[in-house]
Amino acid sequence: MSITADVSTSPQRSRRSRASAPLSSGVEATLSVVGVVGLIALWQIVSMTGAVSARILSSPWDVATAGGRLLMTGEFWMATWATVWITVLGIIVVMLIAVPLAIAIHRSQFVDESTWFVIEFLKPIPGVALIPLTLLLWGPGDGVKLFLIVFGALWPILTQLVYGLRETSGIALDMTRVYRFSPAQRLRWLTIPSMMPFTLTGLRISVTIALIITVVTEYIAGIPGLGTMLAVAQLNGVTDQAYALLLFAGLLGLAFSGAVASLSRPLLFWHASQRERRGA
């Protein structure tokens, strides 16, 4: 019996092959729907049995009704816009800071060594922990939200950008020197493609953090937005509306994350992860 035959018929190998086979987009969507429906069904069962007081946990139907009422009000859409636009602006500012800083850290040992301690010291500090200080400095306003977004969402994307630059293949760099690539060509054909997978990963994390900081800041500081509406609903004991606002905030986060993920297919069509999803 040949070695090839033994390996091909190995149960362990066949199990690994099945486990590593990528799921089609239709199957992934179906599994996602099943998970959501199962969660809602469990929620409905808990609310029907009275295991949790209705004052604490509203039923899915009540939350859906409250959400429908919110969608018909201008106040909700104004609050949503107040949350969305400052989050997007914060991410733009984060990118404008992170990209040149990452390049400087990668290219200059002096910048790398002089910024290492500062970055490592600031990274673990939660952005929301600075809310009292920022309120004292600027008062409740969009400037507070913007500063906290930039402070909290900068580190993931900066870290990923630096990693992406450091993972650039040395062989590929040598090849660009042999073929006498200009700096612009090296940036276009090597540096940017090498950074892109890391950039999208960091951006996806940073967008989520930015939205969390925005809503929490609005909730605590009373700055107009979804967070303030949530705080008012909780203070007034309107539980179904509070849960509806939480769901809307979650859907907003899903939309932001999905928007970043949608960039993967056109920007990373050459990457192994995308080839696996296409079954190539």
Element (H or E) spanning 123, and its range? none
Half-sphere exposure in the Cβ direction for 227 (13 Å, CA): 20
CB atoms inside a 10 Å sphere around CB 190: 17
* CB distance 67 to 247 below 8 Å: yes
Instruction: Report the CATH fold assignment for 58-278.
Output: MetI-like fold (1.10.3720)
Say if residue 92's pLDDT is above 70. Answer: yes
User: What is the spatial distance between Cα 274 and Cα 57, in angstroms, rounded to a whole number?
Assistant: 41
End-to-end alpha-carbon separation of the chain, Å? Answer: 32
Give 32-56 pLDDT, tens digit per residue: 778 888 888 887 787 777 777 767 7
User: What is the spatial distance between Cα 87 and Cα 211, in angstroms, rounded to a whole number?
Assistant: 6
Give 225-253 pLDDT, tens digit per residue: 999 999 999 899 888 899 999 999 999 99
Q: What Cα–Cα distance (Å) separates residue 81 from each residue in 34, 67, 166, 167, 171? A: 31, 17, 38, 38, 47
Q: Determine the pLDDT at residue 9.
A: 43
**Model pTM score:** 0.79
* CB distance 148 to 131 below 8 Å: yes
CB atoms inside a 10 Å sphere around CB 230: 23
Q: What Cα–Cα distance (Å) separates residue 206 from each residue in 4, 98, 192, 270? A: 47, 11, 19, 24
* Amino acid present at 71: L
Say if residue 29's pLDDT is above 80. Answer: no
- Where exactly are the structural domains of the chain? 25-57, 58-278
* CB distance 65 to 240 below 8 Å: yes
Q: Determine the pLDDT at residue 208.
A: 92
Element (H or E) spanning 172, and its range? helix 170-178
Which residues are CB-contacts of 78 (< 8 A; sequence separation ≥ 6)?
Answer: 224
Half-sphere exposure in the Cβ direction for 195 (13 Å, CA): 21
Higher-confidence position of 235 and 29? 235
User: What is the spatial distance between Cα 15 and Cα 138, in angstroms, rounded to a whole number?
Assistant: 59
